[in-house]
Chain A
Amino acid sequence: GQQVMQIPQYQHVQEGEDFTTYCNSSTTLSNIQWYKQRPGGHPVFLIQLVKSGEVKKQKRLTFQFGEAKKNSSLHITATQTTDVGTYFCAGPRRSGAGSYQLTFGKGTKLSVIP
């Protein structure tokens, strides 16, 4: 079945440093989604990438989707303490009747040292 792998598992950075997490899928994806989960919280949708080679930006966050649509990355520039949390990539897989189940990576837990 579809597997989604993420590295690194943990990342500790000094506030102001950059951060990158990488995601790889065992299968070609129709799209890839990124979610953020704050400590004790629930996954919150950040973005969806659909096109091969797509790059999207949200303020200090830059998301990329690989040309082969099997890998993706999230880069945060100049981290802040509010960026703390676990960042998950997720690959949708079509279930029956038009619904999509998400296969999540294990996530990258980001700690930011003030």
Chain B
Amino acid sequence: EPEVTQTPSHQVTQMGQEVILRCVPISNHLYFYWYRQILGQKVEFLVSFYNNEISEKSEIFDDQFSVERPDGSNFTLKIRSTKLEDSAMYFCASSPRTGHYEQYFGPGTRLTVT
């Protein structure tokens, strides 16, 4: 069964550094998402992406965040200058054509900012 994959599984970085989290969505999916989950808390929406542009972003997704689909398979989340409060699990998700609402989540990248 196709799966969303994410790399790395764990990223440790120093405050102020840039990080790029990578995702490979399910191949025939068209809608891509990033969510984050601070330890022990709920999953929070960051951004949705369709047709090579952002569809919507949350308040969390400020100017320090960006997303890109550099080729036909990868979907990346960049944090330009990490802060301590960016420490969280970041999940990528994808969904098929519009009308199919379920989202398929990747295993996540645990980001630790020190």
Contacts and interface: CB of A to CB of B under 8 A. Distances in A.
Contacts, number: 71
Interface residues of A, number: 25
Nearest to A44: B105
Contacts of B55: 95-99
Contacts of B98: 98-99
Nearest to A31: B101
A98 B50 contact: yes
Contact of A99 (B33, B43, B104): B33
Interface of A: 31, 33, 35, 41-45, 48, 88, 90, 92, 95-107
Given A42-B91, A98-B31, A100-B101, 17 more contacts: A33-B101, A42-B106, A42-B107, A43-B43, A45-B102, A48-B102, A92-B101, A95-B56, A97-B53, A98-B98, A99-B56, A99-B95, A101-B48, A101-B56, A102-B35, A104-B43, A107-B42
